Amino acid sequence: MKMDQPSSAISTIPNGTNEFVPQTANVPVILLFRTSWEPSIQPGTALDDAFSALASAYNEQCGFFAVDAEGCPDLSLAYGITVVPSFVLLSSDGKTVQTKLDGIPEIDVLTRAVVSLVSSAPVRAPPPSSEEKETGNADNLDSRLKSLVTSSPVMLFMKGSPSAPRCGFSRQSVEILDSASIAYGTFDILMDEDVRQGLKKYSDWPTYPQLYAHGELMGGLDILKEMMEGGDLAEQLGVQALEAKKSLEERLSELIRRSRILVFIKGIPSAPKCGFSRQIVEILEDIVGEGGRRIAYDSFNILEDEEVRQGLKKYSDWPTYPQLYVDGELVGGLDIVKEMLESGDLQSMLVGSS
C-alpha cells in the first residue's frame, strides 16, 4: 500500500535509500519513520497534524523527512528502528543522533524535542546586504546583530559550539545552561570576525561568551554563574525549562506500557539476534485474533540500549531475555510463554488485550 504524501514542508526519502545524506550543511534534521498501515501517523490524526505544524513552523531552521520504514530497510536498521512511528532527531552535522522517540510520543514531548533540537543548532549570521558590502554601513551591521541576538529566546555567543567549545569560559556557560535544562541557540564568533568585533560595540561588552535573553544582554560567564546561584535560571531568563531527564525507573515504567503487548528481545522481529528471541517472535506471529488476523504487538531491541537492558532485569526481577509484557505487567520469558501457549492461556490473554 502506498503511503499518503506528507505535508509540503516534509520531504520524502525515496524507497530503497540505504544511507541518509543531508541536503543542506549545518542544519539539524528530523527523520519520521512510518508505514502505510500504522494508524497513529496517518493524515488527519493528531500526531500527523502536530508534526506537519512543526515542519511548517521550523522548516527554515531544520530539515523534516518522512521515511517508509519498510521501503528503506537498510536505513531503518542503521537507526535501530524497531517500532513505527519513530522520530530520529539528528544534530546539525547530519549524523549524530541527538534524540530518538520510539513509538507514539505525547505531542508536547515531540514539540519540546523539536524545539530543543532547533535551539541547540548553531545560528548562521544573515549574509551582509549589497549596501553593506559596498559602503560598510554600520547601521546594516547593527541590523544583522539585532537579528542574531533575537534569533532564539536565549542566545549564547561563544567560541566554538556546544559539542566542541573552544575555550573554558564557553564550555562552562554551556554546562550551566544544559544543567538548567534550558533550550538555547548559539553563534560561533570565531566564524565571523565582523560579528565578533561588532557585537562588543553593539552591547558595550568587551568579552565572550555573551548571553542574551529575548534580545537583551544578560552578561558573561560571571553574571551567568550569579544567576544560577540566585535561583531558577529559566525564570530569570524568562523562558520555560525543558522537561528534566527522566530517571531510569520512570523510563522503564513508561516503556513497558508503551503498547498493550510488548516483547523485549535481542534484535528485531524480522531479524532476531538469538534463538530464544526468534522462538518467542514465532509464537507471537502465530497467534490469531478476531477475523483471522494476527495480533498486533510491539517490540524493543535491548541490544540498542544497554541502560534499559540492565535496568529492566532489576526493575522486573527477571534476569534473562526475552521478556513479554501485557498491559504493563510482566508475563515472563520464553519458558513461561511456551507453557501458557500449551495450556491455551496465552491465546486468551493476548487476544483479549489486542
Dihedrals phi, psi of 251, to nearest 5 degrees:
-60, -45
Question: Cα 151 to chain center, whole Å?
Answer: 21
Tell me if the bond preceding 322 is cis, omega within 30° of 0: yes
User: Strands (DSSP E) along the chain, which ranges?
Assistant: 11-12, 29-34, 63-68, 86-90, 97-102, 154-158, 160-161, 164-165, 185-188, 210-213, 216-219, 261-265, 267-268, 271-272, 298-301, 323-326, 329-332
pLDDT in tens, 187-203: 889 888 889 999 999 99
Q: What percent of the chain has pLDDT over 70?
A: 90
Confidence bin at 354 (pLDDT 50/70/90)? very low
Residue with grid cell 536505513, as numbered in its chain: 75
Q: How far is 130 from 127, CA to CA, in rounded Å?
A: 9
DSSP state of 270: T
Report the C-alpha gap between 24 and 28 in whole angstroms: 9
Alpha carbons 273 and 155: distance in angstroms, whole number:
45
Which CATH architecture best describes the domain 11-119? 3-Layer(aba) Sandwich (3.40)
Residues comprising the chain, all counted: 354
84 is written with which cell numbers? 513505527
Query: Could you name the CATH architecture of 130-237?
Result: 3-Layer(aba) Sandwich (3.40)
| Tens of pLDDT, residues 139-170 | 678 888 988 898 888 999 999 888 788 899 99
Helix axes of 275-286 and 334-343: crossing angle, nearest 10 degrees:
30
Cα atoms in the 13 Å half-sphere on the side-chain side of 115:
20
pLDDT at 136: 52
288 three-state secondary structure: strand
Using an 8 Å Cβ cutoff, are 151 and 217 in contact? no
The Cα–Cα gap between 175 and 322 comes to 39
Residue 37 has pLDDT above 70, yes or no: yes
Which amino acid does the sequence have at 158?
M
Q: What is the pLDDT of residues 210-250, one digit of tens each?
A: 999 999 999 999 999 999 998 889 899 998 877 655 678 98
Asked if domains 11-119 and 248-353 share a fold, the reply is: yes
User: Rounded to whole angstroms, what are the CA distances from 63 to 154, 309, 352?
Assistant: 22, 32, 42
Question: What's the gap between Cα 312 and its chain centre?
Answer: 22
DSSP state, residue 159: S
- The CA distance from 270 to 300, in Å, is 12
pLDDT of res. 144 = 86
Three-class DSSP category at 104: coil
| Digit-coded pLDDT (tens) for 316-334 | 999 999 999 999 999 999 9
Burial of 95 (0-12, 13-18, 19+ CB in 10 A): exposed
pTM: 0.42
* Selection from 250, 254, 264, 253 nearest residue 331 by Cα: 264
In CATH, what class is 248-353? alpha beta
Residue-range domain boundaries for the chain: 11-119, 130-237, 248-353
